Every structure is written in structure tokens, then in C-alpha cells.
């Protein structure tokens, strides 16, 4: 609660600053130069024609006119012996200093007075596809930078940072929320906010969940695709920086509201459960029922339909800045946002297949027995799912600025609550093994063999709360000019910037409930005449225990609590200089420190030894609806392992930006980075583990599986920028980076998401990956409003971390270092205002990009050997990297409808395509071949129509996912013929109406 209050107070304080400021005065500042000698001109008079105010330029040629009422002015700049210059239509905005410089020529001849007008950016600056500030940042940045601004995010219907990232060339998502850049997944990508690395409370990754951050507080997302020494050393694929909104140039008050609907959210068929749903602010008390241990527990254990919730969101922004009496500038900005969303999957599929004999067709995987035994289960699930989500938070920014110094304080708090109900049913397994199966005939062979592929039903109720908060204090200082002028270098004013931050993330998942049942239809029993007459055994539901260990119950209730905190600081010193040709460069030095602390706690409970449980009834009657009314005592499962993890990253670096001349410069340096990672486990009484190299389980005692890992790296970087003319820029770089393990991956204990679920065992010998990165980019601006770019990248990866299947007493997943991997690709991008080609196309702009990726990893010898076994006979020595799409396409069109006679209306179309992507590599299970799993290519189309009602109000209509593609994963291998579907679902089309006002 303290976190929430802090965030809201800063937001309200910033908003109150906005409300209290009334048109603060502005000013004009700049430098007067001697045009003939290209040197500062002291003693020049700068006067305001309308007010008579006058100042004189300093020894460095600088001047400042303050206290001007907002408006338009004419400046007269003069000095004896120089031609006077008049600058008209100079605009002064409230609370801002307008920059205006001039160059005076020696007065050698009589010349008439002339007027120079300020350059004004026209409509192009308002075009979301041509965000000029971000475009200029791309051209000037020493790294390969791509960005997307708030306007484009709004037009494209991106509701959060995750959706916005997909608009960036070469970027996509893993699991819908983790950044993937140029085919490299989360471990190779650094996610930051305002330059600060954020913690995460995800159980499996150390990657930030980008869906937590709504677009309402985002100014831009900037993706740096190459490493420079002032970046994090694990920015191998790139660094994603979420730049938050800040203090505006002018007073602003904005309110926005949206209402929406998804076509798949049927009014009375939305999947939930009794007691499910969300409170308005996303808080819910679901404490462990300590008093009921050994007895029945309260609460639903199965799904039920309900009315679909209404989707809507709103936001409120306010901010301003004004001048203080001492010449300093103070400002604030506040934002409060709220969103309620829901989604449904009705036609989902989640199947598991394998190849039992080399060359044979794929057949369903079976568990808990085999078909030859006549007692087994399949996993061919039809999935229905309903998800409700509440997302809200507050952003507050305060800033203080003088001529040479600035301070800013930023606080962001976000909260996401999600309630999901999932129903998975397997009836297709019975029909696979008994093709003519008749459920209503007790004498059908499928009913006579009750234990052979019975109907299965699993129901999962999962409520989750996520919180993120970051408090950041930053400063930037321009120090006095040292006055050091040499033959080759002239040192300019040094710059110092620093930042300290405290950030936290948490995940609380109270009372996750999983209920499993099998169902047997009416079955004819021939009896033993004449002693036992024939009869019909009635249909019955029995427990489904999703593991071979039959001491588990068919109901699990789990509490999970993860928290992570990060204390971070950085200090950078920049020493600008002017070299021998007059071009400017800089030396830069800095230090960085990030201390991360994580706590993981899990408590599991189940109806252990409840073996006699059963419920007589038809399949359509859910046992879960009656289960809470029966006698099924719940007890604790003392098999959980809690842990504490610490990660300390410290670094220092140096780099130089050195121009050779006005066309060529080199950027180089090195980063020295230390990694210290440790894990302390706290096992419960009944926990066992399999030590590395051990043939079987032993008792896990405190300290047995603790991990300590240290590594020091020197990460060099060298690059160049060649600009032969104003229209062309060629960039190249060679860098070395790393990729780190996660806490989970290093811990050599059995880890399960739920009792009986897939087992994951960490690897304490897992090493960090090392990458060598080669990049080349050519940018070309053929004309105003046109842009072309082509990039090539190549990454050589040593010890890439991949997941494999291992077999001991059971099958489990573990991470290993593959020997090596390579990833390469091309990026193409174009932006054009079509009015350049044809007047009829005036108002039409387009932005297109395409990324083509080729990746490969070499399998370790022991991994490759298993595919050569006679029972597998599917030789594999290499495969694609996981989560690296074969290609990515984006096409964005924006059209001003004024040419059609419709004023103040803009149409936007946004089409994105993600190519085939490897999700999981091939493996073996119980001696059977399991092929690679690929996600198939799919494309989505969004449309927006923006109408300006008047000077203050805008109306926006949006249609998202108009193509509504079937999103599928498939088993794929040269050894199985055609693809075989593994999972499939659709997201549904979404329609929104937004009304916003700016005052």
C-alpha cells in the first residue's frame, strides 16, 4: 500500500503543479557568431522590437532574453562594423526558452535589411509514421537504433509496451510479453525503463513482462540493436528502453476513455468459476485455510459459465512547467490509468504426439500405462479458456532545470490482476484407438475396455497479482568550459549524468486450483453365469492424477509468492571535444552497479491418499461441481523448495567517439563487467533430489543444492559511421557480449509448476554464453519524406543455452550449453510520403520493414547420439534456434482523407506477419521420437480511424485482429512427412471506440 500511495501522491502533486500554473513567461536564447571567421561574437546587441528589451552577447557570444510574455516577436541583432540582422516571427511559448542563433557578416558594402524567418516543421512532424525527433535520434545515435513513438502506438492500437514492440523492425514477442530482437529471445535482450534495468518476478525467466506497462504512460520505445560500452553487457540481441512520458513543453490536461468488445466473448458463455472474477482495483484475499488442514476446504474447484465482462479503459494526464525567480525552471507531470480487459478461447487444441517406430506415422503420446497393457491415457485436449484482467497504475514526474543543470524524479507504479479459468478435455484419444466408438453402447469395445484411453477432464483456476514499481532520481550537469585548446583538440564543456533507482517486482498467485478426472461410460459386464449374472456397470468419474505417483490427489491447491528488488546506480562522465577539422566528438567514462535480490516461496496442498474417490454420473455432469460437497480432506505437501537468489552486476567502461573528418568517425571502447550470482535453497522435510552424476534420489538437506557463480568479462566494441553526403550514412560495428543463466536454470533441484506437472531440474554447471556480433547498416534519404535502410547482422554464439530432455527415474527437462550457434539476417526498411510521387496521393504515407533470419545451433554429442539410436533413427546434428522467426514483415499505411473531402480525419492500416518459429527442439520420451515444434506463420491486421471533432476533442474507432488467424504450433521433421498440429487457437476480432480531450 505504501508503494501505491507514493506513486499516486507524486502523480497528484505533479497534476496540482499543472493546475496552478497560469501561462508562465518564456524567453529567447542563443549565440551570435562572426560569419566571416566562424567565431563567437561578443558585444552584439540583441533587442526586441515590440518591447524595447535589450541584452548584449557575452564573451562566448551567448545571450538570453527572459520574462517575455508568450507571443510572436521581432529581434534585431547588431554590432558596429557588422551588417544588422532582423529575425521576424520568433515564437515564444509559455515556460520555454526558444533557441535562436545568428551569424553577422562584416559590413564591407551597403546591403539592404533582410528578414530571416524561423524554420517551421509542417504536417510531416505530425505524421506518426515520420516521428522526426525519433528519426533524428536514429541517425545520430552511435548504436543501431529503431524506435516507435506514442502517436504510432495509438494509431496501431497498441495497448501496452508488448504490443508496441511488435511495430519495431526485427522485434517480436515470446509468450506474448517477453522481448525478442532479431531472433534472440529474452536472455539476450535487456529491458529498461528510462535507461534503468528493471527487475522481474517471473518464475522461469529474468526477463521483464512488457505487457505490464500501458501505452498511456509511454512516450516511445527505443530498441538499440548493437552494443556500445555504455550499455549492459548482455544486450546481445538488443536493449529495449521504455521511455516514459515526461514534463511537457506547454501546460496540458488530457482525459481519455475507451469502450471495447471481443467477438469471442459470448454474453453468457464466458468461462469462469464460482467466486471468480476481479474486484475493481484487483485486490483479493485468498489465504491458506490453515484451520481446515486435514478437513475439506472451501471454494470452487471447477469451471462454470458466466456473463462476459465489459472491456473499457480510461486515463488522465496533466503537466506543465514554469520559471522560478532565480532563473530555474520547475515542472511536473502526472498520469493515472486504468484498464479492464477480457479474452476467450473456445476452439483451442493442445495435443501431444510422438513416433513410436522409425518411419511410422505419429501417434498420440500415452501416459500411465501402454496400449498393450490396456490401461493408459492420452493427451489430446480440446481447450476452452476465459481470462479477465485489470491493469492500473500511476506515473509521476518532477523536474528542476537551470541553464547547466537538471534533476528529475520519476515514480511509476503498475498493478495487474488476472483471473483465468481453463477447461481441457480429452475425448479424442478414445476415438483414436476405437475409431467406431459408440459412447451409448455398453458393449462397444471402447466401453468394455474402460481403462484404455478414458475421457479426461482437467480444470484450472488461476488468480494472479503482479506489481511493478520504479523510483528513479537522475541528474545531468554541464561543467564549466576548461579552456584547454591544443593543436589537435579543443576540450569543450564536460557533461556528467548520474542516476540512482530502487525498483521492485512481485508476483502473488494465491490458491491456484487444479482438478483432474477421468470418465468411464456405461460398460457391459458379462459376469460369471450362472453364479454372477450379466450387468451394466454405470458411468463413473474417477480421479485423474497427472503423474505416475499415485499418492498424489486429483486436486492441487498452490500458493506462490515471488518478489524481486533491484538497487541500481550509474555515473557517466562525457568529455566533448573539437578535433583538428572542427568536428565534435567525445570521450566517455562510467560506472554501473545493479544489486538484485529475489525471494521465491511456494506452498502446495492436495487430497493425498484419496484413492477411493468417485462420482457416478454422465460425462456432461462435471464432478468438480459436486466435489466440494463431498468428503475430500486437504493436507500439506512437504515437497516444496523455497529459495533466495542474489545477482550482483558491476561494471566500468570507457569509449570514444572520434571524427576523422566531417564524413568519417569511429566509435570504440570496452566494458569491464563482473557477474556474481548465488542461490540458497530452503527445502521442506520430504524433498529429495538427484545430485549431478547420481543414479537416484537422495534426501535434499539445506546447503546441498546451493549455487555460487562468478565471472568477469571484458567486452570490446568498435564501430564506424561514414557519411559521404547529406543523404547517405553507412554504419558498421563489431562487439562482444554475453548471455546469463537464470536462478531457476542453475538450481539442481526438481521444480514443478504444479504437482504432477512437467519436471524441470537446473544445471549447476551451466555457463554463460559468449557472443561475437557483426553489424552493418546503410541509410539513404533520397528526398524530403523518403527513407530507405538495409542492415545485415551476424552473431557467433559460444555455449548457447538450450533445453533438452533427460531420462533418469523419470523424464525431465534441463538446460545445457550447446557447443555453438550462429544467427544472421537482413533488415529492410522504407518510409515514404507518397505525395512526392503524385499529387493525387497527397496525405498518404507508408512505412514498411522486413526482417529475414537464419539461425542454427549444433547439438552436443550426447544429445545427437540419442537420435542415432535404432529405436529413434532420426539423425540430427543441428537445428534452428528457438524463438527465432524465419521472417518478420510490417506494413503501416496512414492516409489523411482531406483529398476525399473529409476534413480532420485520418485512416491507418497496420499489418504484421511473423514467420515460422521454432518453439521447442526435438527430443525423445520413453524411447520414442518427439519432433521439433514450430509455430506456423500468421498475420494480423489492425485498422484505426481518427476524427478530430474540434480543437479539443478527438474520436477514434479501432478494429484489431481483423484477419483473426488460427495460431498454430505443429510437429515438423523430415522424418514424419507433413506437419502434425500440436496446438491451435484464435484470439478473436476486437473493436474499440475512444474519446479523448486535450485542454
Domains annotated on the chain, with CATH: 2-120 (2.60.40.1120), 262-439+459-486+495-547+563-628+641-998 (2.40.170.20)
| pLDDT tier at 907, thresholds 50, 70, 90 | very high
pLDDT score, position 136? 67
Q: Which grid cell is 843?
A: 496525405
| Rounded-to-5 percentages of helix, strand, coil across the chain | 10, 55, 35
- Averaged pLDDT of the chain: 87
Share of the chain above pLDDT 90, in %: 55
pLDDT score, position 38? 65
Share of the chain above pLDDT 70, in %: 92
Highest mean pLDDT among 90-94, 178-182, 459-463, 806-810: 459-463
| pLDDT tier at 995, thresholds 50, 70, 90 | very high
Residue bearing the bigger pLDDT, 230 or 5? 230
pLDDT score, position 15? 40
Q: What is the mean pLDDT of residues 599-619?
A: 90
Is the pLDDT confidence value at 123 over 50?
no
Residue 169 near residue 162, CB atoms below 8 Å: no
Range with the lowest mean pLDDT among 117-121, 686-690, 793-797?
A: 117-121
Phi, psi dihedrals of residue 429, rounded to the nearest 5°: -60, -40
pLDDT score, position 463? 96
pLDDT score, position 85? 81
pLDDT score, position 573? 97
pLDDT score, position 726? 85
Is the pLDDT confidence value at 4 over 70?
no
Is 734 in a helix, a strand, or coil?
A: strand
Q: What is the mean pLDDT of residues 619-629?
A: 95
753-800 pLDDT per residue, tens: 554 557 788 888 899 999 999 999 999 988 877 889 999 999 999 999
Q: Which grid cell is 182?
A: 532479431
Range with the lowest mean pLDDT among 290-294, 623-627, 961-965?
A: 290-294
pLDDT score, position 670? 98
Sequence-distant (6+) residues with CB within 8 A of 765 are 692
Helical (H) or strand (E) element with 421: strand 405-426
Residue bearing the bigger pLDDT, 102 or 599? 599
Is the pLDDT confidence value at 20 over 60?
no
pLDDT score, position 119? 25
Is the pLDDT confidence value at 124 over 80?
no
| pLDDT tier at 106, thresholds 50, 70, 90 | low
Q: What is the mean pLDDT of residues 160-170?
A: 85
Helical (H) or strand (E) element with 147: strand 145-149
Place of cell 536472455: 187
Ramachandran category for residue 38: left, alpha or beta (phi over 0 → left; psi -120 to 50 → alpha): left
* Distance, CA of 169 to CA of 171 (rounded, Å): 6
Residues counted in the chain = 999
Kindly tell me the burial class for residue 900, based on how many C-beta atoms sit within 10 Å of its own C-beta (0-12, 13-18, 19 or more): exposed
Amino acid at each position: 500500500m505504501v508503494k501505491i500511495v507514493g506513486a499516486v501522491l507524486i502523480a497528484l502533486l505533479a497534476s496540482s503543479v499543472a493546475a496552478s500554473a497560469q501561462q508562465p513567461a518564456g524567453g529567447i536564447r542563443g549565440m551570435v557568431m562572426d560569419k566571416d571567421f566562424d567565431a563567437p561574437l561578443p558585444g552584439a546587441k540583441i533587442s526586441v522590437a515590440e518591447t524595447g528589451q535589450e541584452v548584449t552577447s557575452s564573451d562566448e557570444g551567448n545571450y538570453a532574453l527572459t520574462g517575455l510574455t508568450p507571443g510572436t516577436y521581432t529581434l534585431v541583432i547588431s554590432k558596429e562594423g557588422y551588417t544588422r540582422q532582423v529575425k521576424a516571427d520568433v515564437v515564444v511559448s509559455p515556460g520555454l526558452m526558444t533557441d535562436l542563433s545568428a551569424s553577422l557578416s562584416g559590413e564591407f558594402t551597403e546591403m539592404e535589411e533582410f528578414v530571416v524567418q524561423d524554420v517551421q516543421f509542417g504536417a510531416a512532424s505530425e505524421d506518426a509514421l515520420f516521428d522526426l525527433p525519433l528519426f533524428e535520434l536514429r541517425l545520430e545515435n552511435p548504436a543501431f537504433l529503431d524506435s516507435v513513438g506514442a502517436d504510432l502506438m495509438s494509431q496501431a492500437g497498441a495497448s501496452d509496451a508488448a504490443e508496441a514492440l511488435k511495430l519495431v523492425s526485427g522485434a517480436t514477442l515470446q509468450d506474448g510479453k517477453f522481448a525478442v530482437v532479431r531472433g534472440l529471445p529474452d536472455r539476450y535482450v535487456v529491458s529498461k525503463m528510462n535507461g534503468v534495468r528493471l527487475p522481474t518476478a517471473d518464475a522461469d525467466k529474468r526477463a521483464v513482462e512488457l505487457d505490464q506497462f500501458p501505452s498511456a504512460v509511454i512516450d516511445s520505445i527505443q530498441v538499440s540493436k548493437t552494443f556500445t560500452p555504455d550499455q549492459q553487457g548482455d544486450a546481445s540481441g538488443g536493449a529495449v528502453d521504455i521511455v516514459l512520458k515526461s514534463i511537457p513543453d506547454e501546460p496540458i490536461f488530457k482525459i481519455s476513455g475507451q469502450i471495447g468488445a471481443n467477438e469471442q466473448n459470448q454474453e453468457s458463455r464466458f468461462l469462469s468459476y464460482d467466486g471468480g472474477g476481479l474486484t475493481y482495483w484487483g485486490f483479493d484475499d485468498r489465504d491458506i485455510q490453515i484451520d481446515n488442514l486435514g478437513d475439506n476446504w472451501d471454494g470452487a474447484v471447477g469451471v462454470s459459465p458466466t456473463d462476459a465482462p465489459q472491456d473499457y479503459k480510461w486515463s488522465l494526464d496533466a503537466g506543465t512547467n514554469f520559471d522560478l525567480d532565480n532563473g530555474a525552471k520547475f515542472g511536473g507531470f502526472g498520469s493515472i490509468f486504468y484498464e479492464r480487459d477480457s479474452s476467450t478461447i473456445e476452439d483451442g487444441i493442445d495435443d501431444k504426439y510422438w513416433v513410436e517406430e522409425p518411419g511410422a506415422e505419429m501417434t498420440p503420446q500415452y501416459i500411465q500405462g501402454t496400449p498393450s497393457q490396456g490401461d493408459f491415457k492420452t493427451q489430446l485436449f480440446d481447450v476452452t479458456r476465459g481470462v479477465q484482467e485489470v491493469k492500473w497504475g500511476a506515473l509521476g514526474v518532477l523536474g528542476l532545470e537551470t541553464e547547466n543543470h537538471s534533476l528529475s524524479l520519476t515514480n511509476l507504479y503498475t498493478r495487474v490482476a488476472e483471473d483465468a479459468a481453463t477447461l481441457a478435455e480429452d475425448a479424442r484419444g478414445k476415438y483414436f484407438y476405437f475409431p467406431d466408438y459408440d459412447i451409448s453402447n455398453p458393449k462397444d469395445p471402447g466401453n468394455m475396455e474402460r481403462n484404455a484411453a478414458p475421457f479426461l477432464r482437467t480444470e484450472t483456476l488461476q488468480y494472479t497479482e503482479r506489481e511493478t514499481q520504479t523510483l528513479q532520481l537522475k541528474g545531468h550537469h554541464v561543467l564549466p568550459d576548461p579552456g584547454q585548446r591544443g593543436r589537435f583538440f579543443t576540450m569543450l564543456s564536460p557533461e556528467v549524468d548520474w542516476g540512482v533507482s530502487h525498483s521492485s517486482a512481485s508476483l502473488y498467485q494465491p490458491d491456484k486450483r487444479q482438478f483432474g478426472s477421468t470418465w468411464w461410460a456405461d460398460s457391459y459386464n458379462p459376469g460369471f453365469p450362472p453364479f454372477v449374472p450379466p450387468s451394466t456397470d454405470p458411468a463413473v468419474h474417477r480421479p485423474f492424477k497427472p503423474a505416475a505417483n499415485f499418492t498424489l490427489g486429483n486436486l492441487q491447491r498452490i500458493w506462490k509468492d515471488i518478489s524481486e528488488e533491484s538497487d541500481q546506480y550509474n555515473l557517466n562522465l562525457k568529455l566533448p571535444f573539437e578535433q583538428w577539422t572542427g568536428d565534435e566528438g567525445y570521450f566517455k567514462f562510467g560506472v554501473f552497479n545493479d544489486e538484485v535480490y529475489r525471494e521465491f516461496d511456494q506452498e502446495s496442498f492436495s487430497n493425498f491418499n484419496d484413492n477411493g474417490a468417485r462420482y457416478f454420473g454422465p460425462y456432461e455432469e462435471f464432478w468438480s461441481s459436486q466435489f466440494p460437497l463431498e468428503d475430500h480432506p486437504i493436507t500439506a505437501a512437504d515437497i516444496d523448495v523455497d529459495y533466495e537468489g542474489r545477482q550482483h552486476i558491476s561494471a566500468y567502461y570507457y569509449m570514444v567517439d572520434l571524427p576523422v573528418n566531417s564524413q568519417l568517425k569511429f566509435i570504440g571502447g570496452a566494458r569491464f563487467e563482473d557477474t556474481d550470482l548465488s542461490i540458497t535453497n530452503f527445502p521442506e522435510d520430504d524433498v529429495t533430489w538427484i545430485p549431478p552424476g547420481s543414479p537416484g534420489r537422495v534426501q535434499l538437506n539445506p546447503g546441498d543444492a546451493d549455487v555460487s557463480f562468478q565471472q568477469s568479462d571484458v567486452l570490446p566494441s568498435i564501430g564506424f559511421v561514414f557519411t559521404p553526403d547529406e543523404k547517405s550514412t553507412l554504419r558498421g560495428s563489431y562487439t562482444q557480449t554475453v548471455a546469463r543463466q537464470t536462478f531457476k536454470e542453475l538450481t539442481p533441484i526438481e521444480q514443478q509448476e504444479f504437482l504432477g506437472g512437467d519436471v524441470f531440474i537446473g544445471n549447476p554447471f551451466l555457463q554463460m554464453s559468449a557472443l561475437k556480433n557483426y553489424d552493418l547498416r546503410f541509410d539513404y534519404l533520397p528526398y524530403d519524406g523518403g527513407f530507405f535502410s538495409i542492415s545485415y547482422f551476424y552473431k557467433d554464439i559460444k555455449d548457447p543455452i538450450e533445453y533438452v530432455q533427460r531420462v533418469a527415474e523419470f523424464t525431465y527437462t534441463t538446460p545445457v550449453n550447446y557447443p555453438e550457434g550462429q544467427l544472421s539476417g537482413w533488415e529492410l526498411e522504407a518510409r515514404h510520403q507518397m505525395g512526392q510521387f503524385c499529387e493525387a496521393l497527397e496525405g498518404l504515407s507508408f512505412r514498411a520493414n522486413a526482417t529475414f533470419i537464419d539461425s542454427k545451433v549444433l547439438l552436443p554429442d550426447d544429445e545427437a547420439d540419442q537420435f542415432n539410436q535404432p529405436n529413434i533413427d532420426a539423425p540430427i546434428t543441428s537445428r534452428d534456434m528457438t524463438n527465432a522467426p524465419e521472417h518478420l514483415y510490417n506494413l503501416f499505411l496512414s492516409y489523411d482523407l482531406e483529398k476525399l473531402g473529409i476534413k480532420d480525419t485520418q485512416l491507418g492500416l497496420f499489418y504484421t506477419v511473423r514467420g515460422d518459429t521454432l518453439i521447442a527442439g526435438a527430443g525423445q520420451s520413453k524411447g520414442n521420437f518427439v519432433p521439433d515444434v514450430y509455430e506456423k506463420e500468421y498475420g494480423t491486421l489492425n485498422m484505426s480511424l481518427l476524427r478530430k471533432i474540434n480543437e479539443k476533442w478527438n474520436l477514434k474507432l479501432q478494429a484489431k485482429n481483423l484477419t483473426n488467424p488460427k495460431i498454430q504450433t505443429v510437429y515438423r521433421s523430415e522424418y514424419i512427412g507433413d506437419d502434425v498440429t500440436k496446438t491451435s487457437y484464435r484470439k478473436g476480432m476486437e473493436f474499440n471506440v475512444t474519446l479523448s480531450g486535450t485542454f
